[in-house]
Amino acid sequence: MTVPPGDEDLDQDALAAEWEAQMAGDAGGGGGGDGDEQDDLAAEWEAMVGGEGGEDGGGATEVVSSVGGRETTRVLNQDEIDSLLGFDDEQEDLGERSGIQAILNSALVSYERLPMLEVVFDRLVRMMSTSLRNFTSDNVEVSLDNIASLRFGDYLNSIPLPAMLAVFKAEEWDNFGLLTVDSSLIYSTVDVLLGGRRGTAAMRIEGRPYTTIERNLVERMVQVVLADLSAAFDPLSPVTFRFERLETNPRFATISRPSNAAIVAKLRIDMEDRGGRLELLIPYATLEPVRELLLQMFMGEKFGRDSIWETHLAEELWKTDIDLTAVLDQQTMNLRDIFNLEVGSQILLHAGPDSVIEVRCGDIPMFTGRMGRRGDSMAVKIVAKSSTRRDVG
């Protein structure tokens, strides 16, 4: 039977009835040899027609599999479809991916971990807790949710709008970074700074742009955060983060290529019953000048330095025995004259009893002095330090 090109407009029920009648006629006239096969085809056609014409609206889909030469049909619900495609909200919150999303993300580059950067962000959290308390005159708690590596384009697409994006520049590193303030933190900051009452959630008005007052207050808060970020990096490498501009459209805050890798630190700021999220993005290209410093291992919060070990090493160095050489004179001779030297030959030195000699440690000049005698031993009296001596420590 041939179905016309406009089969989507036909009555599916009438088409099924016609098919059943034809199958019944063929089965009655042609014997029972293939009756079971025709019944199976008719049942399958009815199932297909019912699936197209029904209005279950549950987002279900049919999966046809063949087991032992026999096809079986299983209906997937919406949760199973989301898990298959990798759009599970719970797993996204945990940072895990499954299904097709896991396959796609497996093609991404696995970026290296920077141990010292974690210490810098921990230091930033402690400093922000103090500075934001002074800034808002309120009880502020700052916590670090997680640190992740992702592509810059993926991050821009994941920013929940409305939000404010502050672009800042690392002066010494000659590159840029991004600071994202979500709407909850914006309204909470405005509410706290303008004397809002405690115990009331910050009111969010949809469908309007941010006012000049709101932008100025958020800019002041960003200045505080950037000052703390500079102080957090200071023990590792002095750097100044300068505020550039404030944007509300992610397209205007593009500071790197979409495919470039970046570090994202997600901070949570709570002001009693108010608060919001603050996200700090630093591209890997920005951190490249201090990459070697960020890769070094660390102990506690000493930024890779152990004062106890340094003190012990310095004490042991003072006890080290070294050989000193007193140089009376230096001469340049021809190789021919050196080969002509024999037993009993004399080399005249251009040094007298009052000549200044040089005391060396290896090839490094240490002191200048004068030659003398103490008992049966030759002695050198130190007169001054050598002008080319390089002091250690």
* Burial status of residue 271 (CB atoms within 10 A of its CB: 0-12, 13-18, 19 or more): buried
pLDDT at 56: 45
Is 12 contained in some domain? no
Is 261 contained in some domain? yes
Q: What is the mean pLDDT, run by run of 10 residues, along the chain of 393 residues?
A: 49 67 57 57 59 47 53 72 67 56 54 77 91 88 88 88 90 91 88 73 63 90 93 88 90 87 90 86 90 70 65 88 85 87 85 82 86 83 75 46
Is 85 contained in some domain? yes
Q: 3-class SS at 213?
A: helix
Q: pTM for the full model?
A: 0.51
Residues 280 and 338 in one domain: no
Would you state the structure tokens that stand for residue 210, as one six-digit string?
A: 């941010």
Which residues lie closer than 8 Å to 255 by C-beta, 6 or more apart?
Answer: 152, 167, 176, 177, 178, 283
Is 291 contained in some domain? yes
pLDDT at 220: 93
Residues 206 and 99 in one domain: no
Residues 234 and 179 in one domain: yes
Is 47 contained in some domain? no
Total structural domains in the chain? Answer: 3
Domain span holding position 197: 115-295
Residues 152 and 279 in one domain: yes
Is 66 contained in some domain? no
Beta-strand runs (E) in the chain: 61-67, 70-76, 141-151, 163-170, 175-182, 241-247, 261-271, 274-283, 325-327, 356-361, 364-374, 377-385
Residues 338 and 270 in one domain: no
Across 32-67, b (16+ Cβ under 10 Å) vs e yields eeeeeebeeebeeebeebeeeeeeeeeeeeeeeeee
Residues 271 and 332 in one domain: no
Cα 92 to Cα 106: distance, rounded to the nearest angstrom: 15
Residues 126 and 247 in one domain: yes
pLDDT at 226: 93
Residues 240 and 120 in one domain: yes
Cα 270 to Cα 143: distance, rounded to the nearest angstrom: 8
Residues 184 and 98 in one domain: no
pLDDT at 325: 87
Task: Indicate which CATH number applies to the domain containing 332.
Answer: 2.30.330
Helices and strands (H and E) in the chain: how many: 13, 12
Residues 102 and 120 in one domain: no
Picking from 302, 304, 356, the residue whose alpha carbon sits closest to that of residue 329 is 356
Residues 217 and 285 in one domain: yes
Residues 262 and 361 in one domain: no
Out of 107, 127, 152, pick the residue that ends a domain. 107
pLDDT at 227: 93
Is 316 contained in some domain? no
Is 37 contained in some domain? no
pLDDT at 235: 85
Amino acid at 128: M
Cα 246 to Cα 214: distance, rounded to the nearest angstrom: 11
